[in-house]
Chain A
Amino acid sequence: MTNTVWLLLGAGLVAAAAGLSFSRSFFSGHAGLGVLEPIDRDGPLHRLPARIKLLAVITLALLSAFIPAGRLAVPALLVLGAVLAARVPLGRFLGRLGELVPFVLLAVLGVALRGDTALLAVTLGRAVMTVMALTLLVTTTSVPALVQAARQLGLPDLLGTTLALALRYLSLLCDEGSRLSLAFQARAVGPRDLRLARPLGRMVGSLAVRSLERGERVHQAMLARGFDGHLPSLSADVPARWRHWVGLAAWVAALGAAAWPNW
């Protein structure tokens, strides 16, 4: 009896964590799309080279996976220090952290079933730290600089070019999508269940047609400007100096020391 209740609760939480939502809207939009706009603020973290910041976030996420719960304070203090140093409005973090809520509930359920509170601390601590570090990264770094940093760090050319083009067209296609779904919402009558999936699919189809036709036009225009399949890399980044590398090494050393005996 109680087992059934637990299973049902689990199914509900899993569904919520899996992205099933109770939204009435056909288009969720993306509140985070604002990160694509140029950064107007300034601060100590804004002036760091994108490569260094990207490496710092990646090493934080990867090394934290090896840090035991008892020493999770080390990466937590590092992230907190970075947050305080960056002078970024704290509201930026709240929205991002809110998306973790279903997963938090899922983790709590897991602990309730297994009775391991330390595992809960580790799971949630890592989830929150990565989200905060990533939010910090995109609020203090322009997206073109991030793409360039990823390419400098060895992202394959084809992936880098695709990534740059995708970011270029993201907000355009997002507008297109919200226009289409507004029109759909105005027309759509009938039960809100799976029977709406086919008309919605036709809407997705027209979004695909518009996107691909735009792609064709873009390609023609790019050919006219001498495009040969590779995007030239224009420098958008602050040059990395030796003190930046020393700082990164200290960051990695602190995290590595916290993770040390468990390698």
Chain B
Amino acid sequence: MHLPDGFLSASVSGAMYLASGSAVAVALRRAEADGDGADPGERGRSTVMMGIVAAFLFVAQMINFPVTGGTSGHLLGAALATALLGPWRAMLVMAVVVGLQAFIFADGGIAVLGANLFNMGVAGCLASGLVLSLAGADHRRRRLALAAAAWLSVLLGAGLTALEIGLSGRVPLAVVLPAMLSVHAVIGLGEALVSVAAWSLLVGARPDLATASREPGGEPWRLALVLALGLALVPLASSLPDGLESVAERQGFAQAAAPARPAPLADYALPGRRVTGFDALGTYLSAGVGMVGCAGLMLLVGAVRRRRPAEAAGS
């Protein structure tokens, strides 16, 4: 899922930078607001733990789980990080991991860093935070929620990546979206199994280390706002007529460009997305996803808000 540079258009990259940047800014404020308390023995503890978890996730992403027939996938870790640190600190940790991979190991591009961070970190951590906050403290429900969060974070990342590639006009959305989603629906199962098994072992061995998980997912309204913002920006970026960069490419060699030859996939994607309605379809599709996502989030947020006072009264 680490996109290299060049695979997204300038407008999509820019929109994703904006979405990731604002999410990280919120996460920084939230993480700094709930510090380590006044106890001098706790000073800086959460920061050290964030550093360690970042290194742990980096290594955990090198662990391959077999899928089937000799193929293997690897862990993403956004859900596990959220269970360990809460969504905001997990998001910062994912930002460090993705940034590290891009700058130090050339794994993922720089112009598309915002998109990579959003796909692999921001979206997964927000979704996981929301799902986990619904689960409450009960151990069995928490494990179930973690499984759902892990699967969802992989699928969400894959779907967003495909959407961005499609909207950038690199590979037709009709090819890339079903391919990404179907492959990752299976990889997501592995992610869910690995995350839950790892979490259960951790809770069994050192329940005190898993304390951060008990804090609720932060203010759900802000959470929903950031996610909705991110989803809303993608169709916006693609609906900019032609996108800044496609203009650039056209102008660069408008004369030299040979007429598009008949595409083999004429039924699905038509060559020259600006001529046909395909781009509009992509925009409507992502806008639809955004709207459904927002509506779902609002319902979930409502459920959480109603549930919390009841839980407090019950316990």
Contact = CB atoms under 8 A, between A and B. Distances in A.
A15 B184 CA distance: 8
Contacts of A174: 58-59, 62
A26 B64 contact: yes
A52 to B, nearest CB: 15
Contacts of B272: 114
Contacts of B189: 194, 197
B130 interface: no
B180 A228 contact: no
Interface string A171-184: 01110110001000
A126 B109 contact: yes
B175 A7 contact: yes
Interface in B241-284: 244-245, 247-249, 251-253, 256-258, 260-265, 267-269, 271-273
Contact of B190 (A67, A129, A197): A197
Contact of A116 (B96, B111, B262, B271): B271
B198 A205 contact: yes
A156 B28 contact: yes
Nearest to B6: A126
Instruction: Classify chain B's interface size.
Output: 35 or more
Given A23-B72, A58-B110, A262-B247, A7 B178 contact: yes
Interface stretch (B46-54, B230-238, B299-307): B46-54
Interface string A239-259: 000000000000000000001
Nearest to B171: A110
Given A3-B264, A30-B62, A204 B103 contact: no
Interface in A168-205: 168-170, 172-174, 176-177, 181, 192-194, 196-205
Contacts of B22: none
B30 to A, nearest CB: 11
B84 interface: yes
Q: Which of B6, B93, B109 has most chain A Cβ within 10 Å? A: B6
Contacts of B158: 18
Interface string A58-84: 100110111111110000000000000
B110 A206 contact: no
A113 B249 contact: no
Interface stretch (B133-141, B202-210, B289-297): B202-210
Contacts of B105: 30, 32, 35, 138
A164 interface: yes
A192 B70 contact: yes
Instruction: Classify chain A's interface size.
Output: 35 or more
B61 to A, nearest CB: 9
Contact of A205 (B45, B107, B197, B260): B197
Chain B interface, DSSP helix/strand/loop, else mixed: helix
B103 A146 contact: yes
Interface in A7-60: 7, 10-11, 13-15, 18-30, 32, 35-36, 57-58
Given A114-B273, A138-B106, 18 more contacts: A18-B158, A18-B161, A19-B73, A35-B105, A71-B252, A113-B264, A127-B4, A134-B110, A158-B32, A165-B47, A166-B96, A167-B100, A174-B59, A194-B67, A205-B205, A206-B205, A208-B56, A219-B44
Interface of B: 1-7, 10, 13, 24, 28, 31-32, 35-36, 40-41, 43-45, 47-56, 58-60, 62-75, 80, 84, 92-93, 95-97, 99-100, 102-107, 109-111, 158, 161-162, 169-172, 175-176, 178-180, 182-184, 186-187, 189-190, 193-202, 205-206, 209, 244-245, 247-249, 251-253, 256-258, 260-265, 267-269, 271-273
26 contacts: A3-B264, A11-B182, A25-B64, A27-B62, A99-B106, A107-B6, A113-B265, A116-B257, A116-B260, A118-B253, A126-B4, A127-B4, A130-B110, A134-B110, A159-B95, A162-B93, A173-B58, A194-B186, A203-B63, A205-B205, A208-B56, A211-B52, A212-B56, A212-B202, A212-B206, A223-B43
Interface of A: 2-3, 6-7, 10-11, 13-15, 18-30, 32, 35-36, 57-58, 61-62, 64-71, 96, 99-100, 103, 106-107, 109-110, 112-119, 122-127, 129-131, 134-135, 137-138, 143, 146, 150, 156, 158-159, 161-170, 172-174, 176-177, 181, 192-194, 196-209, 211-216, 218-219, 222-223, 227-230, 259, 261-263
